[in-house]
Amino acid sequence: MKAEAQPVSFAVGEGTVSGLLVAPPKATALYVLAHGAGAGMAHPFLGALSEALAARRVATLRYQFPYMERGGKRPDAPKVAEAAVAAAVAEAARLAPKLPLFAGGKSFGGRMTSQAAAHGLLPQVRGLVFVGFPLHPPGAPADTRGDHLADVKVPMLFLQGTRDEFADLSLLKPLVARLGKQATLHLVEGGDHSFKLPASLGVKPAEVLAELADTAAAFMAANAA
């Protein structure tokens, strides 16, 4: 049976943001999943990923950053975004106090989660899962956006397409290597920043989604204790 998304809301600063909790029966973990800069928590990719994880007994809590809740286009300042991540993780702990918590997200949401973790705002989480980590803007390769990752104290999983223009692999691979045993890089061959593959590869989107969900679920199972 498909797990239905349950609307939730929680405070961030002086305001309130919306969330969607997908909690399958006998869940083994809860993943706090942040959206990317240009699309909110209801984006079809995030919905499909939540369903795929639910099929693997991983619950998810998606949520809006304050700017997206207001209908704005400009992402929140890092301090505001990190506070939203911390509030979402705290809400996840309240909703599912017995489940091990993980956090991360798509692109901007993943980076804001990692910064919150590096600043000590997420003591409840067992690990971070990044779905397309944005190491740099397209066409401007650099790795300084990853400097804070050395301060993250929990295991990290990077799910990354090999054609991702936001993460040159010649920079991302050495960065992950420097992080040592704390970090794992899983590459989706041919995937872009949205994990879309060239038609010539003959790989269906559902297969890519299953690969992402399988890898994330296995990482959470390995780090849940």
Rounded distance between C-alpha atoms, residue 149 and residue 45, angstroms: 25
Residues of the chain with confidence (pLDDT) below 70: 1
pTM: 0.97
- pLDDT at residue number 112: 98
- pLDDT at residue number 1: 62
Domains contained in the chain, CATH given: 5-223 (3.40.50.1820)
Q: What's the pLDDT tens digit per position in 39-50? A: 999 999 999 999
- pLDDT at residue number 3: 82
- pLDDT at residue number 26: 95
What are residue 203's DSSP bridge partners? none
What are residue 9's phi and psi, to 5 degrees?
-150, 155
The dihedral region occupied by 185, where left means phi > 0, alpha psi between -120 and 50, and beta the remainder, is beta
- pLDDT at residue number 100: 98
